[in-house]
Amino acid sequence: MCGIVGYIGARKALPVLIQGLEQLEYRGYDSAGVVCINPTNHSLFLAKEKGKLGQLKSVLNGVSLASTTGIAHTRWATHGAPSKANAHPHEDCKRRIALVHNGIIENYQEIKHKLLKKGHRFRSETDTEIAVHLIEEYYDGDVEQAFRKAVGELKGYFAFVVLSADEPGKLFVFKRSNPMVIGVGNGENFAASDVTAIIPYTRKVIYLEDDEFAVLERDSITISSRASHKPIRKTISEVKWSVDEAKKGGFPNFMLKEIYEQPRVAEETLAKRLKNGKVWFDTLDSKAEAHLKKIRKVFVVSCGTAYHAGLVGRYMLEEYAKVPTEVQVSSEFRYVDPLVTKEDLVILITQSGETADTIAALREARAKGACTLAIVNVVGSTIAREADYVIYTHAGPEIGVASTKAYIAQLLTFALFTIYLACLRKTVSAGFVASYLKEMRKLPKAITTILHREKLLEPPAKTLFKNKNFLFLGRGYNFPTALEGALKLKEISYAHAHGYAAGEMKHGPIALIDSTQPVICIAPFSKTYEKMVSNIQEIKARKAIVLSITTEGDKSVKQLSDWVFPIPKMSEIFSSILSVIPLQLFAYKISVKNHRDVDQPRNLAKSVTVE
């Protein structure tokens, strides 16, 4: 959470920083701020505002600064309410040093106490502000040394970018646990929380590792470790994402654009992974294969939407690869002392690769000696770098806070990995693999067909958008779809929505049903189709309002439902990839009709980098 960007070069810094914040705003939007070094008198120009970036932009409207060095921040509040005073950047007492921070300083209270005694004056309630005063405290003419000393005292996890009016030709960067990427330009350099802020200017990046410092000047980047102070040679990576992928491309918001990108994501995922009638992962070599062949059990660990992908993945792995699979949310896994052994595989699923609880779960699994495999979207992210093996989902940048195309990419990757593992473990026949992959190739077209039917959701959305309570029911592969449909709706519309396994209805939730209760039933053809029909009958008998996701050609569910949305006929395993798409669109429509901010729902951030 929180987005950081820093620039040093020959361009005017302010527009570069604001553009960077636009790309990073998905990381938090409680406040935004910027500080630039005035080149004539080497003073600091600071502007910050409560609320979304638009507020800051309107204050800066008409401001033209000659400055070519600056840092900026978009905040997701942890310590201290969203306010102008608590917005970053924070400055030292003399307003000569400024700093932006992503993370949490756990021992800030004791340090603040010490600094107050020494006469430092604080302007905010944040944990962050103590860091800049600590640098001031240690400063005796060398910012880097003071920064190093200050960081040495801090506990917690953080990414910082610091600048000082006394050393106007430098930016100072440090990373521990939270992401920080350095953009390598020509006569200019960048620092940012993720590459989307940098790619309009350069595709060459260096990923900082934990406990690394970087000093950026216009023409140089010096990276060193905290412990040894010695310069480290780092690899420069090339970012493949295009600038257009991180823009709205004519859509009113990122979420709708990303929903409509799903056929392409499916097409590209399959194209990358299918070779000569086999599933192939470029990152899994023969050593990985030998490892995977022998595993005893799989644990799938993730959060939110990625957790739902894990639930679907469990059904896939158990049905076809015949491997016992347990799915846990990362925040539970890391604290329950999980019974993971050296014979087990722990799969971490994450769009961002930076979710704090999933990082901790990965480290826990590694500490227990398990083999770890990350299914990640963001290339070079912490989880991708720390896991033993990685499979990238290649969905492209996902900017909307509500995850859509990344989920589809996760499900497809799981479906592919399942067959890959099943082949290694010899649990499926060659004939089965051929027909499975043949059917999978039909998915991009099937997703396009669904998107063409978007209008079918208009009448139910129009009728139900004021409702404050929704139930989502599904079974088997579509029980996680019910959870995901409910999560999508609640996070972007703020209505309460609950996903249930339909078989659980009679064990409690049926008490909620009356003529005002909307129930979304995910009921495509499956081995539990008849059971779903019975569940819908029971709901309808109690007069609920029913929107059902059905298979083309279905008659029974249609008769019982107020509205139906048919998806193309495919095997049950693939129905979960299709049936979630109308639910994404339904949530989107309800959100728009309620005038919610679809891309930036309240209280949320795209990447949850604090526990």
Site track 473-492 with ligand M6R (rule: CB under 6 A), x = hit: --------------x---x-
Nearer to ligand M6R, 67 or 355 (CB): 355
Closest approach of Cβ 531 to ligand M6R, in Å? 28
Q: Comparing C-alpha atoms, which of 541, 513, 521 is closest to residue 460?
A: 521
Q: Which residues contact 3 (CB under 8 A, 6 or more apart)?
A: 20, 21, 23, 24, 25, 26, 27, 28, 73, 74, 102, 192, 193, 194, 197
Separation of CA 526 from chain center: 31
88 Cβ contact list (under 8 Å, min separation 6): 2, 31, 33, 48, 73, 75, 99, 100, 101, 126, 128
Q: Spot the catalytic one: 48, 175, 405, 606.
A: 606
Q: How far is CA 465 from CA 226, 470, 483, 545, 596, in A?
A: 54, 10, 19, 13, 12
Q: Candidates 13, 17, 208, 306: give the one binding ligand M6R (CB under 6 A).
A: 306
Q: Please, which residue, 358 or 528, has the CB nearer to ligand M6R?
A: 358
**Considering the rule CB under 6 A, would residue 609 count as an interface residue with ligand M6R?**
no
Helix (H, G, I), strand (E, B) or coil at 545: strand
Our answer to whether residue 2 is catalytic in this structure is yes
Does the bond joining 89 to the residue before it have cis omega, within 30 degrees of 0? yes
Shortest spacing between CB 396 and ligand M6R, in angstroms: 14
| 303 lines the binding site for ligand M6R (CB under 6 A) | yes
Give 551 or 609: the residue with its C-beta nearer to ligand M6R: 609
Candidates 50-58, 317-325, 347-355, 576-584: pick the segment binding ligand M6R (CB under 6 A): 347-355
How far apart are alpha carbons 381 and 534 in whole angstroms? 46
| Closest-CA residue to 556 (of 587, 592, 518, 530) | 530
Distance of CA 542 to the CA centre of its chain: 39
Smallest distance, ligand M6R to C-beta of residue 359, A: 9
| Region of 211-219, 221-229, 345-353, 507-515 interacting with ligand M6R (CB under 6 A) | 345-353
Q: Which residue, among 173, 166, 278, 276, has the nearest Cα to 216 in the 3D structure? A: 173
Measuring CA to CA, which residue among 194, 177, 243 is closest to residue 3? 194
Question: With respect to ligand M6R, which residue has the nearer C-beta, 234 or 498?
Answer: 498
Q: How far apart are CA 543 and CA 473, in angstroms?
A: 16
Binding status of residue 607 toward ligand M6R by CB under 6 A: yes
Pick the stretch among 143-151, 303-311, 562-570, 579-587 that binds ligand M6R (CB under 6 A).
Answer: 303-311
Counting contacts by CB under 6 A, is residue 256 touching ligand M6R? no
Q: Per the structure block, which two tokens stand in for 511?
A: 């008490």
Dist. CA 609–CA 104, nearest whole Å: 9
- 164 or 607: whose CB is closer to ligand M6R? 607
Least Å from the CB of residue 154 to ligand M6R: 25
Count of chain residues binding ligand M6R (CB under 6 A): 16
- Least Å distance, CB 403 to ligand M6R, is 4
Shortest distance, CB of residue 417 to ligand M6R, whole angstroms?
17
- Asked if 381 interacts with ligand M6R (CB under 6 A), we say no
Residues 358 and 373: beta-carbon distance below 8 Å: no
Both tokens assigned to 90 = 């924070």
Task: Please report how close the Cβ of residue 385 comes to ligand M6R at its closest, in angstroms.
Answer: 15
Site string for ligand M6R, 384-413 (x = CB under 6 A): -----------------xxx----------
* 122/125 Cα distance (integer angstroms): 8
Torsion of the alpha carbons at 579, 583, 585 and 590, rounded to the nearest 10: 160
Choice among 2, 36, 303, 423 that is catalytic: 2
Q: Which of 304, 396, 518, 524 binds ligand M6R (CB under 6 A)?
A: 304
CB nearer to ligand M6R: pick between 493 and 550: 493
Least distance from C-beta 355 to ligand M6R, angstroms?
3
- How far apart (Å, rounded) are the C-alpha atoms in residues 227 and 153? 13
User: Tokens 């079918």 appear where?
Assistant: 456
Q: Strand 220-225's sheet: what is its strand order?
A: 90-91, 97-105, 156-164, 171-176, 212-217, 220-225
Is 606 catalytic? The answer is yes
Nearest-approach distance from CB 402 to ligand M6R, in angstroms: 4
| Contacts (CB under 6 A) with ligand M6R, residues 348-377 | 350-352, 355, 358
Which residues in this chain contact ligand M6R in the complex, by CB under 6 A? 303-306, 350-352, 355, 358, 401-403, 487, 491, 607-608
Which residues are part of the catalytic machinery?
2, 606
